Amino acid sequence: MRLVFAGTPEVALPSLRALLDSHHDVVAVVTRPDAPTGRGRTLRPSPVAEVAAEAGLEILRPPSPKDPEFLDRLTQIAPDCAPVVAYGGLLPDDALAIPPHGWVNLHFSLLPAWRGAAPVQRAVLAGDEITGATTFRIVRELDAGPVFGVLTETIRPTDTSGDLLGRLAEAGAGLLLATLDGIEAGSVEAVPQPADGVSLAPKLNPADAEVDWRAPAMHVDRLIRACTPAPAAWTLFRGERVRLGPVTLRQDSRGLAPGELLVEKNAVLVGTGTHGVALGDVTAPGKKPMRAADWARGARPSSGELLGGEAS
């Protein structure tokens, strides 16, 4: 089939590369406009745009999918189908009507669970044990279209969102390609999503990523893993934000108040609402990530000092 691929971040690349290596004809990509990155806020193309440029594809970067010039160009290209992975924009009816086989989205959840922008982060935060990926035809309602295919994936106890998303992106590329092959052959049929089991996955922002040390240790662990690598979990230490990597549960450590530090020779423990956790990586302002014990040798926190604000 003649395809226009829509995607933006790195997680879309396994699918784009799988389609480029297939018998399908990827003729163009749609991606978000170049965005400022790094300390210098230099404009950079998206990862999808970079790979598309290497492959010699036409790149469409509309300021909005409703942009008339974009819709005109898409009509001229006349794709048979438009696969989508993490594009980052809502498609209007005028765009949805252009490909005869529609827009086929690869979404990283078992729909109708976790519809929205952050399905993997929300699944880790909720403590789900199983997740997956789903291909479905895009309709006007958010992530509510009929389903072509699914795959399942176990969420491991130490998975961060980055770990899990990486595995789903690789496995999902095969699912997306198989779905497009089936659409071309007429061997797959989209099935409506069930009405029960719908949950929403709004994006996690930096305010959501502040660790509440009064929460149970298990919740602290899930929050930090869900926010790794983005938006990055954080807490206050001496009035400044420090970013935290995944922690280790320490059920043998009790008696610490929420946020209270216990500095050992090779570990730094923190109290929660239940029992302690051992800090993993700590990133102080202007510093690179370092193991908690190394951070403690430089910052010299005292046992009994608190993370997260004022003493209780």
- Judge whether 112 is annotated as a binding position: yes
* Dist CA 50 CA 37 (whole Å): 15
- Judge whether 109 is annotated as a binding position: yes
- Tokens standing for residue 256: 């610490």
- Judge whether 175 is annotated as a binding position: no
**In 3D, which of 5, 6, 14 has the Cα closest to residue 133?**
14
- Tokens standing for residue 21: 């290596």
HSE (side-chain half, CA atoms, 13 Å) at 215: 13
Q: List, in order, residues 6 or more apart from 240 with CB less than 8 Å away.
A: 284, 285
Strands of the sheet with 240-244, listed across from one edge: 233-237, 240-244, 281-283, 290-291
- Judge whether 90 is annotated as a binding position: no
- Tokens standing for residue 304: 């009994």
Query: Which is it for the CA torsion 60, 66, 72, 78, positive or negative?
Result: positive
SS3 of 50, please?
A: helix
Question: Which residues contribute to the annotated binding site?
Answer: 109-112
**Known binding residues for (6S)-5,6,7,8-tetrahydrofolate:** 109-112
